Amino acid sequence: MTWFSSPADADARLREVGYLSDPGTAVTTYLSGQLGKPLLVEGPAGVGKTELAKAVARATGAELVRLQCYEGLDEARALYEWNYKKQLLRIQAAHGETWDATHDDIFTEEFLLTRPLLTAIRRDAPTVLLVDEVDKTDVEVEGLLLEVLSDFQVTIPELGTITATARPFVILTSNATRELSEAVKRRCLFTHIDYPEPDREREIVLAQVPDLDDALARQLVDVVSRLRDLDLKKAPSIAETVDWAHTLLALETGTLDEDAIRQTLGVVLKHASDQEKAVRELKLAAGRRP
């Protein structure tokens, strides 16, 4: 199936479902659908990588299948597993049956537990497969992904090879805590989502918090972008900007002056040393003012 007809179409339809993409992301998303290649999205935490996958699913009416990666994820959790307990029950219940009949019985669909990767491949309807935080897995899982991502097929010894009838739209996200192997990268298109331009961020905040005053939103985004310049341990993400907007709205703070910033700084900065630094820098700025 065609997912998007052009980069502009991708941009417009993502926007419709509430995802404001930057030009690079829109083009890569379109290309990923068009070329049938997985899309690897990298970037700092909280810039909307996972959100992109959800938005693609919403925009194209596809179902989202999500594989959340973590350290120790293995084939049984990612691909498929036999339901041992049920198989044991089946054997115990089969009094007097021959072994041949039993072992044919216990390796059938009924006892197969499909995990996200196999689920996505077996689905006929349009599917978006999200492999979230792929950098958290062990290197062996990358090998597994490789096979699935390049051929879109899985071999189960007892059942045979299962090939995807409809190629899922695959999005992998990564915070780059670990360098992914060249093999995985070669099979994927790559895009890096960074913190947005102030204008785009303001749009995003206003889209998420429609009640927010426009001037306040500009002030807010400006302070946040200044905080990002400060070289903090954890720079504020878009999600945190939106949280901040909600906070200010709840406190009915009309303007973002120094007191307001200091009181609510905990919403965006979660390290003590970051907060100290921010307060110090903002004070410096205040001292310069006549």
Binding site for other proteins (CB under 8 A): 7, 23-24, 27-28, 30-32, 34-35, 37, 42-43, 71-72, 84-85, 88, 92, 138, 176-179, 182, 185-186, 189-192, 194, 222, 226, 231, 233, 271-274, 276-277, 285, 288-290
**Nearer Cβ to other proteins, position 210 or 287?**
287
Rounded CA gap, 37 and 187, in Å?
A: 7
- Give a three-class secondary structure readout of 55-116: HHHHHHCCEEEEEECCCCCCHHHHCEEECHHHHHHHHHHCCCCCHHHHHHHHCCHHHEEECH
**Min dist. Cβ of residue 122 to other proteins (A):** 26
**Nearer Cβ to other proteins, position 122 or 136?**
136
Which residues are CB-neighbours of 142 under 8 A, at least 6 positions away? 134, 180, 181, 183, 184
**Min dist. Cβ of residue 270 to other proteins (A):** 12
What is the helix (H) or strand (E) element at residue 155, kind and residue range? strand 153-156
Amino acid, res. 266: G
Question: Cα-flanking dihedrals φ and ψ of residue 156, to 5°?
Answer: -110, 120
**Nearer Cβ to other proteins, position 179 or 252?**
179
Rounded CA gap, 35 and 131, in Å?
A: 19
**Min dist. Cβ of residue 92 to other proteins (A):** 8
**Nearer Cβ to other proteins, position 58 or 192?**
192
**Nearer Cβ to other proteins, position 95 or 288?**
288
**Min dist. Cβ of residue 108 to other proteins (A):** 20
- Coil vs helix vs strand at 154: strand
**Min dist. Cβ of residue 131 to other proteins (A):** 17
